[in-house]
Amino acid sequence: MMRSVVDLSHPITDGMVTVPGLPGPKIGQFRSHAESAPNYAPGTSFQFGHFDMISQTGTYLDSPFHRYPDGVDLSGLPLASTVDLPIELITAGGPVDASTLEGRDVEGKAVLFQTGWDRHWGTAAYAVGHPHITRDGAHYLADNGAVLVGFDASNVDDTTDPERPAHTVLLGRGVVVVEHLRGLDRLPHDLRHWRFHAAPLAVAGMGTSPVRAYAVLVSSPTSESVPSS
């Protein structure tokens, strides 16, 4: 069985900025190969890493607890809502409202929005003026059975709106959110044989976790493979 995998996540690097104003990760070593070597046989060593970072780092997933104090946290989130999901890929250049989504089959799917905003990653332009999902767009997704919503921009919400309607509606209806995706333009037009995965860490008492988001193709006689990355 042949497989192709497309990585849809940003690498996490020491000090990187994901959200301006929030601290970047500190990545280092608890114990290096050289430091661990005396504990083992000659030629044997291990590296023990250490990182300190907030949950909103890199490509990350929001569970309902991110928005609601009584919502499901990461440890209670069903894996079925984050992995092996059929994909509905939607191209959007501006606000995503219900009319943008009319007629799209989102039931039971990871609905991924390709806005192209990931081209601004790492620049000052990334955090401002980005596409977003409107309140009625969020209601459409929830009402029509979307399981997960993924966005290749810095926020599913218009960050000038303090009510954060997209997060409020989606997470309130149990639709998990993945932000800061990248490379959605590498996915093929025909996604019938592809599945999306973005499992978070199962951390109790937290609402958000970095993820390694990716899409997988299980080949079929009519499917077309792309290079793995």
pLDDT digits (tens, 9 = 90+) for 45-80: 999 999 999 999 999 999 999 999 999 999 999 999
Q: What is the DSSP letter of 30?
A: E
pLDDT tens by residue, 146-160 = 999 999 999 999 999
In a domain, 130, yes or no: yes
Asked if the structure places residue 228 within a domain, the reply is: no
Q: Give me the helices (H) in the chain, please.
A: 33-36, 98-101, 135-143, 165-172
In this structure, how many other beta carbons lie within 10 angstroms of the beta carbon of residue 41?
7
* Residue 6 CB contacts under 8 Å (≥ 6 apart), including other chains: 183, 186, 187, 214, 215, 226, 228, 229
Domain count, the chain: 1
29-to-17, 32, 50 alpha-carbon distances in Å: 20, 6, 5
Burial of 206 (0-12, 13-18, 19+ CB in 10 A): middle
For residue 131, pLDDT over 70 is answered with yes
143, 168 Cβ separation under 8 angstroms: no
Q: Which residues pair with 173 in a beta bridge?
A: none
CATH of the domain at 130: 3.50.30.50
Give the pLDDT of residue 218: 79
- At 140 the pLDDT is 99
Cα separation, 76 vs 68, whole angstroms:
14
Question: Is the residue at 18 inside a domain?
Answer: no
Percent of the chain with pLDDT over 90: 93
How is 40-86 classified by DSSP, letter by letter? SSTT----EEEEE--SS-SSEEE-GGGT-TTS--GGGS-GGGTSSEE
Expressed as residue numbers, the domain containing 141 is 3-11+54-218
- With bands split at pLDDT 50, 70 and 90, how would you rate the model's confidence at 222? low
What is the per-residue pLDDT for 224?
Answer: 52
Residue 132 lies in a domain: yes
**Does the pTM exceed 0.75?**
yes
CA distance 202 to 211: 11
34 within a domain of the structure (yes/no): no
What's the CA gap between 37 and 44, in Å, rounded?
6
Cα 117 to its chain centre, rounded Å, is 14
Share of the chain above pLDDT 70, in %: 94
The per-residue pLDDT for 223 is 45
- 152 closest CA partner among 199, 89, 207: 89
47 is a domain residue: no
Q: Binning pLDDT at 50, 70 and 90, where does residue 226 land?
A: low
27 domain residue, yes or no? no
Look at residue 167 and tell me if it is in a domain: yes
**Assigned token pair, 229:** 């990355």
pLDDT of residue 11 exceeding 70: yes
